[in-house]
Amino acid sequence: MDQAGIIRDLLVWLEGHLDQPLSLDHVAARAGYSKWHLQRMFKEVTGHAIGAYIRARRLSKAAVALRLTSRPILDIALQYRFDSQQTFTRAFKKQFNQTPAWYRRASDWHSFGLRPPIRLDDFQLPEATYVTLPETVLVGQTQSYTCTLEQISSYRDEMRLHFWRQFLTETDTIPPVLYGLHQSRPSVEKDDEQEILYTTAVPSDKLFHPVPATQTVLLEGGEYVQFTYEGPRTSLQEFILLLYGTCMPTLQLTRRHGQDIERFHTHGGKRQPEPPQDIRCEYLIPIRRQAEE
């Protein structure tokens, strides 16, 4: 295997072990090289020092935990292998130019400081389109649930399926566009979890008669960055994590307060017994332009 292939495999392994001990000796043993040779090879292939890269990725993971959970800062620091909250705060401030506490409390989520994982394959960023949406009234159903940061992907897909089944299989016809509105906030009951609000909604259209017990839902107007996904339904959540972990920081975008919007394009017509296996979805994230900050 060539050097690029070796480092590519190592990067994948590192990404799954950022919360475990990753001393140079440990990583070199995993790669099967001396630490001196590994450091040189890593720098030649990626252009980055391996130790600095690991620290930047750990701090980026910690930043996401700060924004999406209410876990104590010390717990997050220890999870990502910092020996004290003071050491973590110094390193965090150096990378993000603010303390962990300020980072958590800020109304906007700036992408500055977030370090996307290095990708050595023929990776292309999903194309970003900037759109301004008007405030729109929809009808739908909202459900809330709590989960840990690690459970986001599986829980959100399960909730999406649950509401599709309940919302769409009980209607005579399916609208051509279906919305999924998503917001998260730290749980008030468990500091290592977040509360998820997920709303399935359709346009308030006289031609479509929604199931009983729906509510009026407001789709917030404003500026969004939009990405398009086409593929298996089960891979949508991986796509969303790619948007937040790589696209937002690469494009240097700031997420403002608001809801993420999933806009699904359906087959329309008569109802189906099961949700589709393959989907077409536009995913919109609320953003604030640099000039507005």
What structural domains and CATH numbers belong to the chain? 3-106 (1.10.10.60), 129-292 (3.20.80.10)
Query: What is the pLDDT, as a whole number, of residue 292?
Result: 46
How far apart CA 265 and CA 262 sit, in angstroms, is 10
Q: How far apart are CA 118 and CA 53, in angstroms?
A: 9
Instruction: Output the pLDDT for position 55.
Output: 97
Q: Which two tokens stand for residue 36?
A: 């001196």
Residue 260, CA atoms < 13 Å, CB-side half-sphere = 21
The structure tokens 């790619």 sit at 242
pLDDT of residue 245: 86
**CA-to-CA distance for 191 and 29, rounded, in angstroms?**
36
- The answer to whether the beta carbons of residues 203 and 152 sit under 8 Å apart is no
> What local confidence, expressed as pLDDT, does residue 272 receive?
64
What is the model's pLDDT at position 293? 43
Q: What is the pTM of this model?
A: 0.85
Token representation of residue 222: 């404003």
The tens place of each residue's pLDDT in the chain, 293 residues long, gives 588 889 999 999 999 999 999 999 999 988 889 999 999 999 999 999 999 999 999 999 999 888 877 789 999 999 999 999 999 999 999 999 999 999 998 989 998 999 999 988 777 889 999 999 999 999 888 887 777 766 666 666 777 777 666 666 666 667 788 888 988 777 777 777 777 788 888 887 644 555 555 788 889 999 999 999 999 988 888 898 889 889 999 999 999 989 999 998 876 666 666 667 788 999 999 998 754 44
